[in-house]
Amino acid sequence: VSTRRDGRSLGELVKEEMGPTAGVIALVACFMIMVIILAVLAMIVVKALTHSPWGTYTVAFTIPLAIFMGIYLRYLRPGRIGEVSVIGLVFLIFAIISGGWVAESPTWAPYFDFTGVQLTWMLVGYGFVAAVLPVWLLLAPRDYLSTFLKIGTIVGLAVGILIMRPTLTMPALTKFVDGTGPVWTGNLFPFLFITIACGAV
């Protein structure tokens, strides 16, 4: 719908169809929904990276790598997606492997060991920087790298399960619906709807 209306936002579309008041309400509602979604996503990242030098190092490594990929694709070798993909994948694998070395090093591990509060402020700072920089410089190449990481993780897990054939003892229905989840505690409402909203966005 937005594409057919010259890329207008949801608030502008509602304003055009239903009037100024409805448009303002729609903008406020969209803003609140995005705040909730980003807060939940930030909670997941903070939980995963708290006191995890390996994870924090790997994530931090992808930031300069993404910037290099953006510059490479825009100025050094425009249109060479295959080349930049290979470069990004090689360095991403190196980041994951070297992250283990960093985590085991008594010298380097403390530099990537952060509390939840510290990571939260880092995420706020990163979000601001990523928002003001051009999309091609950081966000687009970093999302591209994340795709490799996600697909690689899924494929690796699937291959590992097929090779090892572990005995699956997890029950068909878990008790997490009562609010004692594996990542954080919380009731089914509103987290179920936040999950659906993430997929929709």
> Could you tell me which residue, 33 or 184, shows the higher pLDDT?
33
Please indicate, yes or no, if residue 178 is contained in any of the structural domains: no
pLDDT band at 178 (very low <50, low <70, confident <90, very high): low
Whether the Cβ atoms of residue 62 and residue 147 lie closer than 8 Å to each other: no
- Same domain, residue pair 6 and 87: no
The answer as to whether 54 is a domain residue is yes
Q: What is the mean pLDDT of the chain?
A: 86
Q: Are residues 24 and 118 in the same domain?
A: no
Burial class (CB within 10 angstroms; exposed 0-12, middle 13-18, buried 19+) of 112: buried
Per-residue pLDDT at 26 exceeds 80: yes
Cβ–Cβ < 8 Å for 71, 137:
yes
Q: What is the pLDDT of residue 107?
A: 94
pLDDT reported for residue 168: 78
Does the pLDDT at position 17 exceed 90?
no
At residue 164 the predicted structure's pLDDT band, cuts being 50, 70 and 90, is very high
Range of the domain at 61: 50-167
Contacts of 65 (CB under 8 A, 6+ apart): 88, 91, 92, 95, 141, 145
Same domain, 96 and 156: yes
Residue 201 falls within a domain, yes or no?
A: no
Indicate if 60 and 8 belong to the same structural domain.
no
Is the pLDDT assigned to residue 68 strictly greater than 80? yes
- Which residues 6+ apart lie within 8 Å of 64 measured at CB? none
Read off the pLDDT band of 16 (50, 70, 90): confident
Does 141 lie in the same domain as 55? yes
Nearest Cα residue to 112 out of 40, 39, 44, 61: 61
Split at pLDDT 50, 70, 90, the class of 49 is very high
